[in-house]
């Protein structure tokens, strides 16, 4: 990058927490730490991975309707929508609520491991990290947990008129998963991750 004040070419690198880069020639502040707490993100990743399985497999909705009890998981919901002919919607639910978040969490988890183990200093680790970082934007756009959380809240309000609706353990796990991913993405800084790759250039 170039210094705003004197046009000196400065190579960007990852900074430790709370540090500001200044131009070596004219002392103009260049950029602040886009800091990413690796340990914090790693911890949230592990929590998200643990919650992911029950969030997908346990019932998110439980309906009691004239003596019969029906439960639905995220998977079944998506398949049911597809079965009714709305296969685009079903596919969107599968990608946005199941596949997207799963890939995103796994990708961030792999990135944190590569940083923690210093594997990115080897050519093979570097290549993997480049691919993961390149696809990060796409994966974060694909995961739409928030839309799914809102939609099952809306659905349950509508259904509550003619059936008793209960939230299952899956709802709890799914909502927790949503919150953890939200905080994880707040803490995660793509720019900081690219910084690790520039460290040796």
Q: Could you list the residues that contact Zn ion (CB under 5 A)?
A: 3, 5-6, 8, 23, 25-26, 28
Helix, strand, or coil (residue 66)? coil
Q: Which is nearer to Zn ion, 3 or 60 (CB)?
A: 3
**Residue 25 or 137 having the CB closest to Zn ion:** 25
Beta bridge partners of 80: none
Tell me the closest approach of the beta carbon of residue 100 to Zn ion, in angstroms: 42
Give the separation between CA 101 and CA 185, rounded to whole angstroms: 11
Nearer to Zn ion, 22 or 99 (CB): 22
Q: In this complex, which beta carbon is closest to Zn ion, that of residue 8 or of residue 15?
A: 8
> What are the DSSP E strand ranges found in the chain?
20-22, 29-32, 61-65, 68-72, 164-167
Residue 200 backbone phi and psi in degrees, to 5: -110, 20
DSSP state of 120: G
Nearer to Zn ion, 5 or 153 (CB): 5
Q: Whole-number minimum distance, CB 13 to Zn ion, in Å? A: 16
- Residue 31 vs 162, nearer CB to Zn ion: 31
CB of 9 vs Zn ion, minimal distance in Å? 10
Q: How far apart are CA 195 and CA 95, in angstroms?
A: 30
- Do 69 and 63 form a contact (C-beta atoms < 8 A)? yes
Q: How far is the CB of 20 from Zn ion (least distance, A)?
A: 14
Q: What is the dihedral of CA 193, 127, 145, 181, to 10 degrees?
A: -40
Distance in Å, CB of 189 to Zn ion, minimum: 24
The least distance separating Zn ion from the CB of residue 22, rounded to whole angstroms, comes to: 8
Q: Which two tokens stand for residue 44?
A: 């949230």
CA 125 to chain centre: 21
Count Cβ atoms within 10 A of the Cβ of residue 54 and give its class: 0-12 exposed, 13-18 middle, 19 or more buried. Answer: middle
């Amino acid at each position: 990058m170039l210094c705003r004040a004197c046009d000196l070419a400065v190579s960007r690198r990852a900074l430790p927490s709370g540090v500001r880069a200044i131009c070596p020639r004219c002392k103009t502040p260049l950029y602040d730490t886009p800091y990413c707490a690796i340990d914090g993100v790693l911890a949230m990743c592990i929590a998200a991975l643990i919650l992911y399985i029950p969030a997908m497999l346990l019932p998110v909705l439980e309906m009691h309707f004239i003596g019969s009890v029906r439960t639905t998981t995220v998977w079944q919901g998506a398949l049911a929508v597809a079965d009714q002919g709305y296969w685009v919607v079903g596919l969107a639910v599968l990608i946005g609520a199941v596949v997207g978040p799963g890939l995103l969490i796994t990708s961030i988890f792999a990135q944190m491991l590569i940083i923690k183990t210093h594997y990115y200093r080897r050519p093979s680790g570097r290549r993997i990290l480049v691919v993961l970082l390149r696809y990060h934007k796409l994966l974060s756009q694909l995961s739409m947990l928030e839309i799914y959380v809102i939609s099952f809240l809306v659905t349950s309000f509508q259904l509550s008129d003619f059936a008793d609706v209960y939230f299952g353990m899956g709802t709890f796990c799914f909502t927790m998963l949503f919150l953890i991913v939200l905080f994880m993405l707040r803490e995660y800084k793509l720019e900081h991750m690219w910084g690790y790759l520039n460290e040796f250039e």
